[in-house]
Amino acid sequence: MKRSLIFLNIAVAGSVLAAPRYKFVSLPQPGPDTRFGSAQDGVVSSGYGSPFNPQVIVTTPTESINVFDRFGIVGGPKIKSADTWVLPVYGVPGNPSQQNDGYIYNGKFGRVPPPSWGYETSVRVIGGGAGGWILGGSWVRGGVLRTGAIRYNAATGEMFDNAIGPHNWYSDVNSKGNFLLSASDEQIQSGWTLSWIEKANGDLVELGEGEASFINDHDEVVFSSMNAGTSGFAGIWRNGVRTFFPGFAQGDFRYGEGLSNSGLSLVGALLAGNDKRQYYLYDRDFNRFDVKSIVEGLPKNLQWTSMNIDKKTDQLYFGLRDPITNQLSIGRADPVPEPGTLAALGLGVVAMLRRRRAG
């Protein structure tokens, strides 16, 4: 048995790595002209309707939830995990212009309590993670600048804060309890931004310039800079080394859109002279793959509007637009196992069965 398992690992590890392959899946459309929101763990947020009568639908593996009917709020949650959905901005029923921040954890709506320190502050939610983590920063009433980084656990009621620069915020967390922390000067859109990993034990690991947005379970981090007046940049921090995603020209605007535990990085771009969104996947060796070229069955006439990657499964979720009718829709692309991997798995199973019979 032990030798069979070793053979299986060697066979898989020794297979030739090829371009990732995906198969397009057309998802049920909750309504006409469906806009994509976000997705993780098989839970999808989408919406349709006018700005004055928005309908936001969250589809789980077992049910379809109208957010307004269920929770009495106007707004689209960002799905951070199956149990944790964050609400960066939601409207109060009857007065959508009154905006607040909150979350939905295990099917229950709540608001992050304002920090006890500071004057007239509330919490601006940015991200979150499994187990009820709601992440963001404090917000000065009447202004737009964050002041202190906030992380709140909806399951335990614990509240933590941190401040390194004038304005600070948390954005993501992995399964090990390591958080992404960023800080900027007063002019967020034109000044500096630095980021760190805040480990579960409180230690800080400096990542350098740029806003860190995604961390996976291997403590790899995708960062971006979208300062006004620049073309923007995106890269990954891995084992203490910062590397920019290659293949772009001067004037191309690029930004990180996601990172999976397998090491696939999703990068969005507006190429110079082209106003259509492009999306690329990078593997750990920085091979770049145009998403359109690796998804089988993708309707050729549709254009991307947005996209994200599932951290655990590598599934791609996206919004699409018909350039002729302007009709919006949502879709998914599922990874297709490589034939070599399937063959190696099959050989490993056969070897195990033979040794069991011999034993």
Q: Are the C-beta atoms of 119 and 109 separated by less than 8 Å?
A: no
162 closest CA partner among 182, 148, 143: 148
pLDDT digits (tens, 9 = 90+) for 24-59: 998 989 988 999 999 999 999 999 987 777 889 999
The full set of domain ranges for the chain reads: 43-291+306-313
- Phi-psi domain of 120 (left: phi exceeds 0; alpha: psi -120 through 50; beta: other): left
Neighbours of 340 (CB within 10 A): 15
Over residues 314-349, the pLDDT tens digits come to 999 999 999 999 999 999 999 998 765 544 555 554
Sign of the CA dihedral with 58 first, then 281, 292, and 257 last: positive
Residue 156 is encoded by which pair of tokens? Answer: 């335990």
Residues 130-160: tens digit of each pLDDT: 999 999 988 665 455 557 899 999 999 999 9
- pLDDT value of residue 8: 30
Half-sphere exposure of 57 (CA within 13 A, CB side): 20
- Cα(195)–Cα(222) distance, rounded to whole angstroms? 11
Which CATH code, of 3.40.50.150, 3.40.1380.20, 2.130.10.150, 3.20.20.70, is assigned to 43-291+306-313? Answer: 2.130.10.150
pTM here?
A: 0.84
How does the average pLDDT of the chain come out, rounded? 83
Confidence of residue 12 (pLDDT cuts 50, 70, 90): very low
pLDDT of residue 4: 31
> In Å, how far from its chain's centre is CA 94?
31
Angle between helices 2-13 and 339-358 (to 10 degrees): 170
Instruction: Give the model's confidence band at 10: pLDDT under 50 very low, under 70 low, under 90 confident, else very high.
Output: very low
Q: What is the mean pLDDT of residues 226-236?
A: 70
Query: Over 80: is that where the pLDDT of 212 sits?
Result: yes
- The model's pLDDT over 153-181, given as tens digits with 9 standing for 90+, comes to 999 999 998 888 888 899 999 999 999 99
CB atoms within 10 A of CB 33: 15
Q: Check: CB of residue 249 under 8 Å from CB of residue 272.
A: yes
Residues belonging to the chain: 359
